């Protein structure tokens, strides 16, 4: 079975500071890993995903995430936060090469301080 | 840019009433989904739908829930007799591929409040 744990339901960073949103997963088979973002009053939008290949994945708006199998982690980072990054971020996992559903974490709300 | 649209954005209903949430998926997509998010909790899978039938459903999706694609464009979620615990944000999603690859496109959600 798959599961996702996102550390911190709320994270606050200053504008221009590093953004780090933590995600750890549990999967009995190799996983696909995703980050989705939800801006206020909008739906969920795919930010980036890891399927196979390079473990450092780049997404939209300057975000990236690194798949670390040894740590079962897929943390999301951005070097310099912008006010427009304020949103809710969801990490998700799905088993590779199987038609199973995506399992989402509880989400982390990112607040950007001026 | 094509998008998934959901109506209503917010519905308030009395416990025991029937509710229908509507979704218009992206036109060339073949796979459709409903998820829900109870306030403060994770986004939970409810059901997936392909080729006019349910392909998978979660334990949450009991006999009170049903889905339908009545006219080739709308994809609806019906809750026959709402309970207080059905209060949540309901997200519709569609995909051109099976969900596993993550290429899901979500609507903005319908917030259901059951009183």
Cβ atoms of B34 and B54 within 8 Å: the answer is no
**What pLDDT, on a 0 to 100 scale, did the predictor assign at position B4?**
92
Q: What is the mean pLDDT of residues A6-10?
A: 92
**What pLDDT, on a 0 to 100 scale, did the predictor assign at position A100?**
62
| pLDDT for A2 beyond 90 | no
A42–chain B nearest CA distance, Å: 5
| pLDDT for A113 beyond 70 | yes
**What pLDDT, on a 0 to 100 scale, did the predictor assign at position A31?**
85
pLDDT tens for each residue of A62-112: 999 999 999 999 999 999 999 999 999 999 988 766 656 788 898 999 999
**What pLDDT, on a 0 to 100 scale, did the predictor assign at position B99?**
58
Q: List residues bridging with B10 in a β-sheet.
A: B111
Q: Which of A12, A100, A97 is nearest to A51 (CA)?
A: A97
**Intervals of chain B under pLDDT 50:** none
Taking an 8 Å cut-off on Cβ atoms, the answer to whether B100 and A102 are in contact is yes
Measured between alpha carbons, how far is residue B87 from residues A80, B16, B93 in Å?
Answer: 37, 12, 19
Q: A105 at the B interface (CB within 8 A)?
A: yes
What is the sign, positive or negative, of the torsion defined by CA atoms of B8, B60, A47, A83? Answer: positive
| pLDDT for A33 beyond 80 | yes
Q: Which of A2 and A32 is assigned the larger pLDDT?
A: A32
**What pLDDT, on a 0 to 100 scale, did the predictor assign at position B105?**
86
Whole-number average pLDDT of chain A: 90
φ, ψ for residue B6 (rounded to 5)? -130, 140
| pLDDT for A58 beyond 80 | yes
**What pLDDT, on a 0 to 100 scale, did the predictor assign at position A99?**
59
Q: Which of A38, A27, A33 is nearest to A74 (CA)?
A: A33
**What pLDDT, on a 0 to 100 scale, did the predictor assign at position B2?**
72
Element spanning B68, H or E? strand B65-68
Taking an 8 Å cut-off on Cβ atoms, the answer to whether A42 and B43 are in contact is no
**What pLDDT, on a 0 to 100 scale, did the predictor assign at position B22?**
96
pLDDT tens for each residue of B64-79: 999 999 887 899 999 9
Which of B4, B6, B99 comes nearest A102 by C-beta? B99
| pLDDT for A43 beyond 90 | no
**What pLDDT, on a 0 to 100 scale, did the predictor assign at position B102?**
59
Identify all chain A residues contacting B98, using CB atoms and an 8 Å cutoff.
Answer: 99
Long-range interactions of A48-52: CB distance < 8 A, separation 24+: A48/A76, A49/B101, A49/B102, A50/A74, A51/A96, A51/B101, A51/B102, A52/A96
Q: A43 at the B interface (CB within 8 A)?
A: yes
């Amino acid at each position: 079975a798959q599961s996702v744990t996102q550390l911190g339901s709320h994270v606050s960073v200053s504008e221009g500071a590093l953004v780090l949103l933590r995600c750890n997963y549990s999967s009995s088979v190799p996983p696909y890993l995703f980050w989705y973002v939800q801006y206020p009053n909008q739906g969920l939008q795919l930010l980036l995903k890891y399927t196979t290949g390079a473990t450092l994945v780049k997404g939209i708006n300057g975000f990236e995430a690194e798949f670390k199998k040894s740590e079962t982690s897929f943390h999301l980072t951005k070097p310099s936060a912008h006010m427009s990054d304020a949103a809710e971020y969801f990490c998700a996992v799905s088993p590779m090469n199987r038609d199973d559903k995506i399992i989402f974490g509880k989400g982390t709300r990112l607040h950007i301080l001026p | 840019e094509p998008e998934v649209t959901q109506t209503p954005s917010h519905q308030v209903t009395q416990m025991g009433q029937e509710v229908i949430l509507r979704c218009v998926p992206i036109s060339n997509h073949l796979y459709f989904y409903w998820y829900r998010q109870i306030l403060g909790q994770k986004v939970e899978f409810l059901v997936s739908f392909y080729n006019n039938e349910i392909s998978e459903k979660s334990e949450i999706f009991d006999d009170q829930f049903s889905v339908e694609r009545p006219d080739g464009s709308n994809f609806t979620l019906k809750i026959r007799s709402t309970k207080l615990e059905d209060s949540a944000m309901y997200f519709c999603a569609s995909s051109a591929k099976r969900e596993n690859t993550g290429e899901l496109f979500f609507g903005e959600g319908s917030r259901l409040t059951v009183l």
